[in-house]
Amino acid sequence: MRATVITAACLFLLAGGSAQQQKQTISPVKDKEIVEQVFSAWNSHDPEKVLAFYSDGIVYEDVPLGLVNHGKAELRKFVEDTLTAFPDLKVQIVSSSIWNNHGVSEVVWGGTDKGFWKTNKQFSVRMLSTFELQGAKFSRNKDFYDLASVMRQVGVLPAEEASGKAVLEAYVSAWNRHDFAALDKLLTPDALHEDIAWPSRDEGPAQIKEFMRHMIAAEPDFDWHLTTIVDGGSVVAAEWKWTATYTGDSPIGHVDRFHGSGRGASVAVIENGRIKRFSDYYDFASFFPKTSAAKATLPDDDLSAAKQQVLDLEKEWVAAEVKRDASTLRRILDDKFVASFGANKPYDKEAFIKQIVTGNADPTESQTLTDETVTIDHDTAVVVGTDTLRGTESGAAYTAVYRYTVTYIRSHGQWVALAEHLVEVPQSK
């Protein structure tokens, strides 16, 4: 079996003998030079230059491969085989030390596997070598490195899978960073993400990313913190705490920039280092304590803005009636909309729209809203006002005045009309 090249390992021997005994050492300058020179020879890919640094009785061991080379002839074959197997082999020195002709060197070496497993893939690995010197030549050398790491890098061994705990932590981290690209590496193509409380069930990375976008829009500053993780390998369970500033519908009504937190638990099924199924369990209502209902009242600035939104919608509604614009009316009116006029039978949404758009439009018709009063309580708004209708009928001008009450609700962040009641104001004679 063929071997690889070098990293030197550390061997330290204490000097023996009396204080008068002469010690054979190599000067620090030569120490540094000989290590640099031998690895420079390996980087030259010239076997003759490499062999020049080893004694005739060299014993050279590649410990991970279990290969021992005795003498220069065997070492020559080892060097030639190594340079053939990895023709672009490169060695970089990290550190080295020599004392009393015993030394250690640490290097990083790598190359492309052209002739060992013939995968044509690159690798790089750290190695340590121990060696002995006789004069200015290496007489003994032992290389130590992680052969399994080399084999994984070139694809002979499967890559080490991340633990279930590590995969879950990476998934949560990607959410906290709003890192959509990371999800492609952490989810299987058929991954399922379930949010039991929301509720939401999303299949595949594309749908899961869309759910993530929705959550970011509602809670842009969310912080998802894992508190306990139980790693069962292919199944991982965790407890967590979620903190965020939320805008949207909630058990206490619509809230704007509501800061809350809550606890929950998740179960993830891991397959080949990726999440195949992820299920979240928590009590959504617990994020919004009942005592927070009073706090959910809009601040003065937001209340004024909400009132203006309702008044603008009133004007848009009037314009749609004058123009006989059915599509705009359908957007303004809730699906459960009901309208009543005096003591007459109420109209539902479609019947009301049909009543408005049927017949020819009167070019002289106009509506003027006055005396408007808007009252808002959380997601409900009530408008009371006067509607003055002017137009021409059968060639004669007319004016009609109505007192009206309209109830609006806020659904998914938008105001829509739920009910309207009009009563005609008798005209003075």
User: What does each C-alpha distance from 61 to 67, 122, 130, 265 come to in angstroms?
Assistant: 6, 24, 10, 54
Same domain, 192 and 253: yes
Rounded-to-integer distance, Cα 245 and Cα 225, Å? 15
Give every CB contact of residue 1 below 8 A, 6+ residues apart in sequence.
Answer: 65, 66, 67
Q: Which two tokens stand for residue 321?
A: 């009636």
Per-residue pLDDT of the chain (429 residues; tens, 9 = 90+): 333 333 333 322 223 333 333 333 434 445 678 999 999 999 999 999 999 999 999 999 999 999 999 999 999 999 999 999 999 999 999 999 999 999 999 999 999 999 999 999 999 999 999 999 998 899 999 999 999 999 989 998 877 767 899 999 999 999 999 999 999 999 999 999 999 988 889 999 999 999 999 999 999 999 999 999 999 889 999 999 999 999 888 777 777 888 889 999 999 999 988 999 999 999 888 887 754 444 445 556 677 888 899 999 999 998 888 888 999 999 999 999 999 988 888 899 999 999 888 866 666 578 888 889 999 987 899 999 998 888 887 778 888 888 999 999 988 778 999 999 988 888 765
Same domain, 315 and 284: no
Residue ranges making up the domain that contains 57: 28-153
Q: Coil, strand or helix: which one is 1?
A: coil
Q: Are 405 and 420 in contact (CB under 8 A)?
A: yes
* Closest among 229, 233, 226, 225 to 163, alpha carbons compared: 233
CATH of the domain at 172: 3.10.450.50
- For residue 92, is it within any domain? yes
Same domain, 283 and 304: no
Same domain, 329 and 217: no
Q: Coil, strand or helix: which one is 12?
A: coil
- For residue 363, is it within any domain? yes
* Domain total of the chain: 3
Q: Which two tokens stand for residue 199?
A: 């509720």
Show which of 278, 295, 312 is a domain's final residue.
295
User: What does each C-alpha distance from 238 to 222, 228, 264, 267, 399 come to in angstroms?
Assistant: 18, 5, 9, 7, 69
- For residue 10, is it within any domain? no
Same domain, 202 and 253: yes
Residue whose tokens read 């014993």: 59
Q: Are 198 and 232 in contact (CB under 8 A)?
A: no
Q: Coil, strand or helix: which one is 364?
A: coil
Q: Are 123 and 111 in contact (CB under 8 A)?
A: yes
- For residue 379, is it within any domain? yes
Q: Which two tokens stand for residue 190?
A: 């058929």
Rounded-to-integer distance, Cα 257 and Cα 249, Å? 11
Same domain, 34 and 144: yes
